[in-house]
Structure 1
Amino acid sequence: MNSLLEVVYYFNLAGSVVTQGRDLNEVMEILEEKGSNQLKIEDILPLFPDFETIDQFKKPIIKSLENYNDRLTVLRTEMNDASKSIDDIRDDLAKYRTRCVATIDSNAACSLCEQALMLQSTFYIFACGHYFHGDCLFSYVRRLMKRNDANTLNETNR
Structure 2
Amino acid sequence: MKPYPSYKQSGVPWLGSVPRHWKIEKLKFFVNFMGGGTPTKDNDDFWGGSIPWVSPKDVKRPRILSTEDKITEAGLASSPCSLVPPNSVLTVVRSGILQHTIPVAINEVAVTLNQDMKALIPIDGVHSCFLAYQIQGCQRELREEWVKQGATVESIEHQRMVDSRFALPPIGLVA
Higher fraction of strand: 2
TM-score when normalising by structure 1: 0.18
**Relative contact order: is structure 1 or structure 2 higher (C-alpha 8 Å, sep ≥ 6)?**
2
TM-score when normalising by structure 2: 0.17
Larger Rg: 1
Higher fraction of helix: 1
